[in-house]
Amino acid sequence: MSFDWAKAASIRMNVVSWPHSDHIGAGRERAAWELRTLDEVSTQELMRGVDLLSVQTSEAVMQVRFKASRPASLTMICEYDSALPEPMRIGAASVTWRSIDERIARLWLIGSVPRVRYPEFMRQRRDLLHPLPANLQLHWLALSLVRLEPLMATLAGRTSGFRSLAEMFSRAGGERDVLLAVADAISGIEYVAGTPSAGGIPSMPKRADLAGLLLEVGTLLEDSLSRLDVNSVAACTERVFETFFLFDDQYGQQVGSRLAKLEDHAWWRDVRLLNDRGDGALAATAMEAMSCAEIVYSTCIEADLRGQ
């Protein structure tokens, strides 16, 4: 699947770097990537899986092998020609990462970076989303924003309305009603990220960082509603993930937050259900979104986000 990235100005392309490599002679180098899986997967299951991956020939651009010393963790050892440019190294490794993610166990971290920030996994999201008709793409986006709404409402000092939002899915065209309601909720966050000169109220740095990301979600949501294309819809959900990831980073030790992993499971489950069952999955995905939003809501209350 190919996309015109140049027309998607709102997409944030992440820059990833190849790790330190060792020269092993004959113009060859070796480098290792530490991979963490999204779920707890045993070392035996991981090694069985990678052993079944397509066997690489000696002519392959990059040869890889694996070690697993503990559950949910793989070391991927890559060997390649020293002359191979770094972008091609990333590209070759990405083929293996995506195979692991789709056929063995979903990945969480590649190195210290979430899988979703790598361009190959941005493509993966768009590949999964592209077969859906426009109304189901918007439904998928709306599900993600229902899960995010309790965090938006807390930062805006409002009472969360995620249950009412989930009920909107039962109406024809309900996904648009959800998206418009969320856009309105985001507009109430502006004072959090504002500056005194702009009439905003200074806030604690943590809340301001979250508010800034949520305002980006709002901009991307507006873009999605006007463009109705795969890139804008996918980019908006990527920023939803980033918001949850930042929340976990800031409040994880305090409340044991795992909202980014919750979202990473949810968007994948939703898009696969919608691809498999079409309109027949609408009710089930709406119920799942409400259940996830309940967790987000209780986590925000536990973190006392509004009171900070």
Q: What is the pLDDT of residue 190?
A: 66
Task: Supply angle C-alpha 8, 91, 49, rounded to 5.
Answer: 115
Global pTM reads 0.87
Q: How far is CA 140 from the centre of its chain?
A: 13
Q: What is the arithmetic mean of pLDDT over 25-44?
A: 94
- Asked whether residue 98 carries a pLDDT value surpassing 80, the answer given is yes
- Asked whether residue 198 carries a pLDDT value surpassing 50, the answer given is no
Q: What is the pLDDT of residue 231?
A: 95
Q: 228: pLDDT confidence band, cut at 50, 70 and 90?
A: confident
Q: 219: pLDDT confidence band, cut at 50, 70 and 90?
A: very high
Q: What is the pLDDT of residue 68?
A: 93
Taking alpha carbons only, the member of 135, 163, 134 closest to residue 289 is 163
